[in-house]
Amino acid sequence: MDENKEPNFDENTKFSLKGTSEFLKNSARIHVAEQKAELYEKKCTKIQKRLSIIVCIMFLSVVLNVYTIRSNIKTQNNLYEAISKQEELKKEIKSLETKNTKANKKIKELEKPLDFYYSYAAIVTANAGEKYHRYDCQYVRGRDFYIYNIHLAESYGYEPCSVCWD
């Protein structure tokens, strides 16, 4: 048989070959469509994975922002409480400063009488003794006493105590 020569087919064979040719073309189209669908599915899967990651990141970001906001609110509340406490302490300091000023005035008022008393008063114990003392002397504590001026105590024969009148 000559290879360049066309084979001789009857009508049924031609129809059968024509149908087979259509079938092969359709099979090829289906195969290409399936490949495209498979590629599309792979792309969709990649996109879904990326979207899942993005959604997770966004969720974590929202959670972190909520936590940060709550933490900031607590810090702000603590700050307001500290400021309030500071204001209370400022008022208390002002009150104590006023009391301190009054106390210092009272001390100034009492210094002159105290200096006078300390310079001219002599304490003599009631029970016995030959010495006169100052009010803070150990020999006066817990005993009955009289208070004289120094000249009167010396005129009665009392002498200054060597412990408190140095």
Read off the pLDDT of residues 17-33 as tens digits, 9 standing for 90 and up: 666 777 777 788 888 88
Task: Give the chain's mean pLDDT.
Answer: 85
pLDDT at 27: 80
Tokens (6 digits) for 132: 């006169």
Residue 10's pLDDT band (boundaries 50, 70, 90)? low
Rounded (5°) CA angle 83-89-93:
145
145-149 and 121-125 as β-strands: parallel, antiparallel, unpaired? antiparallel
Q: Please state the rounded mean pLDDT for residues 105-123.
A: 86
**What's the pLDDT score for residue 104?**
93
The per-residue pLDDT for range 36-47, each reduced to its tens digit, is: 888 888 888 888
Residue 21 to residue 27: CA distance in whole angstroms? 10
If we measure between CA atoms, which residue out of 58, 38, 60 comes closest to residue 50? 58
> How much is the average pLDDT of 120-149?
89
Residue 10 has a CB neighbour count (10 Å cut-off) of 8
Q: What is the pLDDT of residue 7?
A: 57
pLDDT of residue 147: 92
pLDDT of 16 over the 70 cut: no
In sequence order, the β-bridge partners of residue 125 are 145
Which pLDDT score, from 0 to 100, does residue 163 have?
92
